Amino acid sequence: MTWSVRMSEDWDVLGPFPIHAREQQFLSPLYPLDLVSEPTSHEVPWFSAYPDNAQVAWSKAKSSGGRLSVMFPHVRWETLRSTEGWASFQHHSVLRTTITIYPPSDPSSLQRSPKTVLVDLVQGSYFTIVPAACNGTTSWDGIPKWHSGNIYALAGSTPQAVTLPIRLFGVPGSSGIPELQVSLTVQLEDETAEIEHIGFHDVVPHIIDGWFFGRAMGVGVHSRSDWWKIESIVINESLREALQVELLQEVRIAPSQSRIVPVKLTQLQPLSVSEIRIQLRVAHGDTTRTLSIDIPLTHKPKWDESSDQFLKATYFYSTSMPTAFMVIPPLRPRPSPPVLALHWHGPSSRDTWATVDALHDILQSRESWAPWGLQKNGRVAIIGHSNGGQGAWYTAARFPDRIVVGHFIDPSLRAILETSLTPDDNDLFLTNLVDTPVLAIHGGDDENVPTWHTREAVSVVKTWKKDANIIFREDQGQPHWYPTVFDNDFVQQFLRTYIEPTHEPIDDRREKASFTLTVAIPSDSGSLHGWRIRTLQVPGRLARLAVRINKQTAYVRTTNVKVFAIEPSCSSKLSTVVIDGHQIELSDLQPPNGAIFAFDSNAWNTITPSAIPIQPTGRLLNILSSPARLTLIIPDLADSSSLSAALRIAHDLDLYHKLDSVILEASEALDLLVAGNMDPGNLVILGSGRDVFSTHLLQQNRTPFHLKDGKLVLRGKRIDDSAATLFLHPHPSSPTSLALFIHYNDHRAMERALRLFPIRTGVTVPDWIIVGENADTIAAAGVIGAGVWGNDWSWNEGMSSF
């Protein structure tokens, strides 16, 4: 007999409570309970705006096989929805059950007691495990460690190694009552297998006519215990003449962490085998071993005019992260723009463009594929459904010069004033689409997103330009998704009109008489007709550039613009630029440099690229847009709580974004920095700021945050020890990368800070934020201070509150 674990099928349920979609990042996951200061009473009712008597109490629920369904039929949901809309279904509940670990009957087996419980929570927001009896005989400090659940039920999730009240969401069933459907499984960690292969994390391209469709491969590896290094890789000897494999970089894995090992493929001959065997050399201290792994291969025939198949391609996102994307070949080779289909938006736009560039390189790699090749940095036709509709509006409006046509469905347009959400508020950027052909489609009976969202978007584009080429098609009687949304003659003809080779080239499109470019974060946006905003006067506020061209003179009116540029192909056709009444002659500006203009000392002048001020990002979410793998830096390992925090961030990065991350101790990170070997990727620095790496960075005073007597200070005012502080900081060695400090002095503040790490879009976190302990109960009202950095990381008085 061995140790075993059992989860009770009896659940206690408290709820529902109203909650904003992203308010949970501020609020305690346990709200309204407090395990430490208050006993959990089943008799006391709690206030809630949902039921008729404004009170809720504990109720019971039963699970079966780890699956749990919870409904609140006593709430008049349809009445709430009639006045509050879809938002009324967003609610929060606390669920509790009991997990029991049983010892083996053989006393000799007690010597090896289990150290870890593996928990897999699907469609729950957060979970924690706490002792059943909290008294003086336990070592528990009374502060729950909250782990993110797999809230979107994404495939390929690994269980979390931990320590259960849960935050949940639900959708209405056929009865019109929201139903929470949760899956929770627990098991004991098998510590005999210290490091193992996890096949569902593998990233392997299809083989087309014997050749890999991409040079990137990823191998999923999980450490059950200890720190491991992946040092080298070899392939079975029989295939070495046809295929060479190379470890892109040494990979270090923390205890309970999963990572995708990047492997570069160099193929010399076609392959016909159904699998390849690789061997990873792994090391823990002085211990080394070989991990043998069989990688299945999927073969596909070369596409032709009669084929209609999905092909999996791969590339290294941000230089080192194996990433897959699906492509459908055109029926015949032609110099037409590709169609880019989305189901996401926001920080994933960098991945979006990288896949297009990767496909260009893949098709150029073989002579037989080259006829289907893409233009380098060329335009695309973009389509999207649901949140991908948001993504289509988002990407087209921020990179208008790379879009040939847009086609959108079900965009849910935000109108939130918080600066960190401004970059996602698509209707603000519709000025950029007035010269782009757009087909907007919406199901007339969409049960998810109201049709007026798309109607309003079309109306805004037409308001900016009455003859804008935008068509609105409302398919009467159709729901949120229907199979013919793309598959119909009207849509196909629209797409053919703009992606056939006879369509006007992009250079001709840039010769527009007048247009307006709108930008929130310059680094997240491209050009419009060759004009680009590079820096804002006041970061955090919207910027606009209105341009009118008459012969060889451009008349420009700016709003909140400090620096803008004109590409050489456009500036070479101009002799004069008049900016806000300031006239500048371009006779001395020669291509290929183009022209860069900056406003300083109450005048516009031309500058060189090196003189452009640094423009911080405007929101913490951009920490996810890393040029290479992320590095998580923790105090030296005496601080086990920070290691737990880093592992939870690493898990969420892997689950929600498939972003790779490495965990380093502060002293290791400082050694790499001093030696000039620091990774160029973004940094996340956890702790109280007293470790050697944090001290080294903060002593440079590159932002208004600094250390004084070992305490964090902002503009001379000390931050309270109970507060959680998150702020962006310049990367110490890479000018194109970022560092994020997650600062805390105790475990409570750490848990509060971790909830604000921007894993999901829509969380209102600008460049810096300070959150007090009151946020656990009053959410965003517990924010002590927040703001957007000014240019060159300066204090931005107009966009700061402290």
pLDDT surpassing 90 at residue 219: yes
Residue among 418, 251, 516 nearest 767 (CA) = 418
Residue 363: Cβ-neighbour burial (10 angstroms; 0-12, 13-18, 19+): buried
Residue 377: Cβ-neighbour burial (10 angstroms; 0-12, 13-18, 19+): exposed
**Structural tokens at position 799:** 């966009």
- For residue range 686-737, what is the model confidence (pLDDT) as tens digits? 999 999 999 999 999 999 999 998 899 999 899 999 999 999 999 999 998 9
- 120 neighbors 185 (Cβ within 8 angstroms): yes
pLDDT surpassing 60 at residue 411: no
Residue intervals of the chain classified under CATH 3.30.379 are: 620-801
Q: What is the DSSP letter of 177?
A: S
Residue among 225, 237, 248, 230 nearest 288 (CA) = 230
pLDDT surpassing 90 at residue 556: yes
One-character DSSP codes across 293-311: EEEE--EEPPP-TT----E
φ and ψ at residue 748, rounded to 5 degrees: -65, -45
Q: What is the DSSP letter of 26?
A: T
Helix (H) or strand (E) holding 671: helix 666-674
Per the prediction, the chain carries an average pLDDT of 85
Spatial separation of the C-alpha atoms in residues 559 and 424, rounded to whole Å: 19
Task: Give the pLDDT score at 421.
Answer: 65
Mean pLDDT of all residues in 571-599 = 83
pLDDT surpassing 80 at residue 587: no
More confident residue, 86 or 531: 531
State the greatest distance between any 2 C-alpha atoms of the chain, in Å, as a whole number.
92
**Structural tokens at position 59:** 């109720």
pLDDT surpassing 70 at residue 433: yes
- 738 neighbors 710 (Cβ within 8 angstroms): no
- pLDDT bin (cut points 50, 70, 90) of residue 592 is low
**Structural tokens at position 579:** 């900016």
Residue among 189, 114, 180, 195 nearest 149 (CA) = 180
Residue 647 Rama label (left phi>0; alpha psi -120 to 50; beta)? alpha
- For residue range 137-181, what is the model confidence (pLDDT) as tens digits? 445 667 888 999 998 888 878 888 874 334 334 444 556 677 777
Task: Give the pLDDT score at 663.
Answer: 95
Spatial separation of the C-alpha atoms in residues 571 and 554, rounded to whole Å: 10
- For residue range 293-348, what is the model confidence (pLDDT) as tens digits? 999 999 998 887 666 688 999 999 989 999 999 998 877 776 678 888 887 755 57
- pLDDT bin (cut points 50, 70, 90) of residue 113 is low
Q: Is the bond into 270 cis (omega within 30 degrees of 0)?
A: no
Spatial separation of the C-alpha atoms in residues 558 and 760, rounded to whole Å: 33
Angle between helices 747-755 and 640-652 (to 10 degrees): 10
**Percent with pLDDT over 70 in the chain:** 88
- pLDDT bin (cut points 50, 70, 90) of residue 102 is confident
Spatial separation of the C-alpha atoms in residues 121 and 128, rounded to whole Å: 11
- For residue range 357-393, what is the model confidence (pLDDT) as tens digits? 999 999 999 988 888 888 888 888 888 887 788 888 8
The length of the chain is 802
Task: Give the pLDDT score at 631.
Answer: 97
Question: What are the angstrom distances between the C-alpha of 302 and each of 267, 305, 311, 511, 758?
Answer: 17, 10, 10, 41, 42
- pLDDT bin (cut points 50, 70, 90) of residue 504 is low
3-state secondary structure of 725: strand
Mean pLDDT of all residues in 611-616 = 86
Task: Give the pLDDT score at 133.
Answer: 60
Spatial separation of the C-alpha atoms in residues 687 and 9, rounded to whole Å: 38
- pLDDT bin (cut points 50, 70, 90) of residue 132 is confident
Spatial separation of the C-alpha atoms in residues 388 and 382, rounded to whole Å: 10
- For residue range 33-49, what is the model confidence (pLDDT) as tens digits? 876 545 456 667 888 88
Task: Give the pLDDT score at 304.
Answer: 72
Helix (H) or strand (E) holding 685: strand 683-687
Q: Where are the beta strands (DSSP E) in 243-377?
A: 243-247, 251-253, 258-267, 275-284, 287-296, 299-300, 311-317, 321-327, 339-342
Q: What is the end-to-end Cα distance of the chain in Å, rounded? A: 59
**Structural tokens at position 63:** 């699970």
Instruction: Quickly name the fold that domain 620-801 has.
Output: Chitobiase; domain 2 (3.30.379)
Residue intervals of the chain classified under CATH 2.60.40 are: 193-332
Buried b (16+ CB within 10 A) or exposed e, 301-331: eebeeeeeeebbbbbbbbebbbbbbebebee
More confident residue, 502 or 266: 266
Least confident of 414-423, 716-725, 750-759, 791-800: 414-423
Residue among 726, 729, 710 nearest 718 (CA) = 710
Q: 193-332 has which CATH code? A: 2.60.40
- Tally Cβ neighbours within 10 Å of residue 446: 21
- 488 neighbors 496 (Cβ within 8 angstroms): no
- pLDDT bin (cut points 50, 70, 90) of residue 276 is very high
Alpha carbons within 13 angstroms on the beta-carbon side of residue 178 total 26
